[in-house]
Amino acid sequence: MSKLNVFIDGSWLFRACAPERALASHTEWADKAFPLDFNRLDAALIKHAAATVPDCGAIGERYLATSIFTLPENFDEGPTEFPGVSADDVARTRGGVALRERFVKGAVDAGYSTRAIYRPKMKGWILERLRTNRYQEKQVDATIVALLVRSAITHPHDVHVVITGDADVLPAVKVAYPEYSRNVLVATTHPDELRAENRQTSFSLSNFEFDSPPFYFQDHGAELAAGAHVYTCAHCHKVFARPKSIPGKARPCCFTCNAKRT
């Protein structure tokens, strides 16, 4: 039996799960972050991989690469390193760090390695760039490529899935591991949505020849969301969860569609 090894660009996936973005907008709760269940993600990926590589049936190495800022203890007091730091900056930065911690905890609790999680110290210049949306995490894509290529060379009979929407990852994989077509699989959001989010780059899956078709997150919303009973609305196809199961005969119907129909 071959294994499925998973390499997540955690910074990208975190953003893809944010309110109103690719995943959340396909749910009943578009204004809330998509509640990704990493165990369910692994199961859905194995199922998808097995369609092309039938003996792929177990999980192998799993990494989520991202960075989470470590805030100094005196961050709230506006230390000299952070000139002009406002109460707003402090609250927003703390909130952002807490959200990312919670997201990463979901992956780690499901068994993902913590080795690709960076914890850089927050600096004045970083805060300034975050404020003006000019901060770029470069280390993450390089880490994903390095881990995936090492895994693919060491375990040529396994399947290796890269979860990303970043334009730079695939050409790098192609150069370092030219055999990628056979056993590398991409999981991303629909290309059209990807273009909308990333207009300045021209990430195009069609430039690569993968044996396995891409895994598109939006096609698997109900399989990936946390919740006791998760459904896809029979009318609008949005994902929703309920504490109790819907009786067998009834077609799943979300709150919005239900309100329209009564």
Q: How is the chain split among helix, strand and coil, in percent rounded to 5?
A: 40, 20, 40
Q: How far apart are CA 179 and CA 130, in angstroms?
A: 38
First-to-last alpha carbon distance for the chain, in angstroms, is 51
Is 30 a binding residue for Zn ion by CB under 5 A? The answer is: no
Residue 30 or 126 having the CB closest to Zn ion: 30
Residue 30 or 130 having the CB closest to Zn ion: 30
Q: Near Zn ion by CB under 5 A, which window of 43-51, 109-117, 139-147, 246-254?
A: 246-254
Size of the site for Zn ion (CB under 5 A): 5
Residue 21 or 26 having the CB closest to Zn ion: 26
Is 254 a binding residue for Zn ion by CB under 5 A? The answer is: yes
Pick from 6, 22, 233, 239: which binds Zn ion (CB under 5 A)? 233
3-state class (DSSP) for residue 194? helix
CA 177 to each of CA 26, 59, 238: distance values in angstroms, whole numbers, following the listed order: 34, 21, 38
Q: How far apart are CA 34 and CA 15, in angstroms?
A: 10
Residue 150 or 235 having the CB closest to Zn ion: 235
Q: How far apart are CA 68 and CA 122, in angstroms?
A: 9
Is 242 a binding residue for Zn ion by CB under 5 A? The answer is: no
Q: How far apart are CA 102 and CA 100, in angstroms?
A: 5
Spatial contact of 230 and 241, defined as CB atoms under 8 Å apart: yes
Is 222 a binding residue for Zn ion by CB under 5 A? The answer is: no
Pick from 89, 236, 241, 242: which binds Zn ion (CB under 5 A)? 236
- For 247, counting Cβ atoms within 10 Å of its Cβ (0-12 exposed, 13-18 middle, 19+ buried), the class is exposed
Is 23 a binding residue for Zn ion by CB under 5 A? The answer is: no
Is 92 a binding residue for Zn ion by CB under 5 A? The answer is: no
Is 184 a binding residue for Zn ion by CB under 5 A? The answer is: no
Q: How far is the CB of 249 from Zn ion (least distance, A)?
A: 18
Pick from 47, 92, 131, 235: which binds Zn ion (CB under 5 A)? 235
- Strands (E) located in 17-73: 56-67
Residue 24 or 257 having the CB closest to Zn ion: 257
Residue 44 or 257 having the CB closest to Zn ion: 257
Residues making contact with Zn ion (CB under 5 A): 233, 235-236, 254, 257
